[in-house]
Amino acid sequence: MSTPANFSGARPIIHPDDAVMLLIDHQSGLFQTVADMPMTTLRAHATALAQMATLAKLPVITTASVPQGPNGPLIPEIHQAAPHAQYVARRGEINAWDNPDFVAAVKATGRKQLIVAGTITSVCMAFPSIAAVADGYQVFAVIDASGTYSKMAQEITLARIVQAGVVPVDTAAVASELQKTWHRDDAQQWAEVYTRIFPPYQLLIESYLKAQDVEKNHEALDSERG
Judged by CB under 8 A, the chain residues 125 through 144 that form the site for a copy of itself are 126-127, 130-131, 134, 143-144
**Residues sharing a CB contact under 8 Å with residue 14, sequence separation 6 or more, in sequence order:** 113, 115, 140, 169, 174, 177, 178
Q: Which C-beta is closer to a copy of itself: that of 68 or that of 83?
A: 68
The one segment of 18-26, 52-60, 103-111, 117-125 that binds a copy of itself by CB under 8 A: 117-125
Residue 31 has a CB neighbour count (10 Å cut-off) of 20
Q: What minimum distance in Å lies between the beta carbon of 224 and a copy of itself?
A: 7
Count of residues engaged in binding a copy of itself, rule: CB under 8 A: 108
CA distance 104 to 89: 12
Which residue in the set 13, 15, 109, 112 belongs to the binding site for a copy of itself (CB under 8 A)?
A: 13
Which residue in the set 15, 87, 153, 192 belongs to the binding site for a copy of itself (CB under 8 A)?
A: 153
Of 62, 42, 156, 153, nearest in space to 116 by CA: 62
Which residue in the set 16, 66, 109, 192 belongs to the binding site for a copy of itself (CB under 8 A)?
A: 66
Q: Which C-beta is closer to a copy of itself: that of 110 or that of 151?
A: 151
Q: What minimum distance in Å lies between the beta carbon of 35 and a copy of itself?
A: 8
CA 180, 183, 189, 194 dihedral sign is: positive
CA distance 123 to 141: 12
Of 109, 193, 97, 177, nearest in space to 140 by CA: 177
Q: DSSP 3-state assignment of 109? A: coil
Q: Which C-beta is closer to a copy of itself: that of 27 or that of 54?
A: 27
Tell me: does residue 19 bind a copy of itself (CB under 8 A).
no
Q: What minimum distance in Å lies between the beta carbon of 48 and a copy of itself?
A: 12
Restricting to residues 166-195, which ones interact with a copy of itself according to CB under 8 A?
Answer: 167-173, 176-177, 179-184, 187, 191
The one segment of 16-24, 78-86, 105-113, 215-223 that binds a copy of itself by CB under 8 A: 215-223
Q: Is 124 a catalytic residue?
A: yes
Tell me: does residue 103 bind a copy of itself (CB under 8 A).
no
Q: DSSP 3-state assignment of 175? A: helix
- Which of 82, 123, 124, 197 is labelled catalytic? 124
Beta-bridged to residue 22, according to DSSP, are 61, 116
> What angle is formed at CA 33 by the lines to CA 27 and CA 37, rounded to 5 degrees?
95
CA distance 74 to 62: 9
Restricting to residues 68-97, which ones interact with a copy of itself according to CB under 8 A?
Answer: 68-73, 75-76, 89-95
Residues with a known catalytic role: 124
